[in-house]
Amino acid sequence: MIQSPNKTTSQIEEALVLAEKSVKVFPYFFNLYLVYTTANTLENEFIAEKYFNLLRVHCNSHDKFLYTGLMQELNISPFINIKSETKIEQSSYYFANEVFDFGVINKGTNRKFEFTCTNIGKDPLIIEQARHGCSCINLKWEKEPILPGEKGVIRGTYHANTEGFFYKQVYVHFKTKINSMAILIVKGEVKT
């Protein structure tokens, strides 16, 4: 087993528990990577494989830009649509646009946006939850299953109350065998 200098197995196991908790709160690519590498260090093949598969599925265009080196280390190509190539048994989805750019908007206005999700899998796709970390966004999504080949829409309103540039992440959780998630971006600039 590979161990970090001055770290005992129990400390690494504790780090794994904390890393898994962080993924539940902040399911970013890097956090998934930390869980995967920690599980690998402990030779926990079950957890390592689970998080490796999550890394492949959760990769979005921003992750491809930020973590190309980590993807190469894991032998995950950052230049392909990983969601459509994965062999994991699950409902699959595709967002034609993962970024909604408002450009410049006026302070004090409410602006609407939407993301369209296509079910490219063989089974119905259920959007279990769409969430964000900002009180400036309200979200609504369809609760009914999206049938194969059909589309579902996530609608939102951005409340432009604060001046300056904004870059907000929207987390869309799908009810699948591995609890798949997409990260979408709402951005722009608010001026008076």
Per mean pLDDT, which of 64-68, 83-87, 117-121, 156-160 is the most reliable? 156-160
Quickly state the pLDDT bin for 104 (edges 50, 70, 90): very high
Distance of CA 6 to the CA centre of its chain: 33
Cα–Cα nearest to 58, from 192, 162, 175, 172: 172
C-alpha to C-alpha distance for 89 and 108, rounded to whole angstroms: 45
For residue 174, the cross-strand partners are: 127
Consecutive H or E run containing 14: helix 9-25
Higher per-residue confidence, 67 vs 27: 67
C-alpha to C-alpha distance for 61 and 63, rounded to whole angstroms: 5
C-alpha to C-alpha distance for 142 and 119, rounded to whole angstroms: 13
Q: What percent of the chain has pLDDT over 70?
A: 79
Residues whose CB falls within 8 Å of the CB of residue 68, separated by 6 or more in sequence, listed in order:
78
Rounded average pLDDT over 75-100: 60
**One-letter amino acid identity for 6?**
N
The predicted model scores a pTM of 0.55
Cα–Cα nearest to 101, from 25, 184, 18: 184
Consecutive H or E run containing 17: helix 9-25
DSSP 3-state of 19: helix
CB atoms inside a 10 Å sphere around CB 187: 15
- Whole-number pLDDT of residue 105: 96
pLDDT tens, position by position, 105-162: 999 999 999 999 998 888 888 898 898 878 899 999 988 999 988 999 999 999 999 9
Residues whose CB falls within 8 Å of the CB of residue 120, separated by 6 or more in sequence, listed in order:
84, 92, 93, 94, 148, 149
Here the tokens at position 118 are 């296509």
CB 104 within 8 A of CB 188: yes
Higher per-residue confidence, 113 vs 69: 113
Residues whose CB falls within 8 Å of the CB of residue 96, separated by 6 or more in sequence, listed in order:
116, 118
- Whole-number pLDDT of residue 111: 96
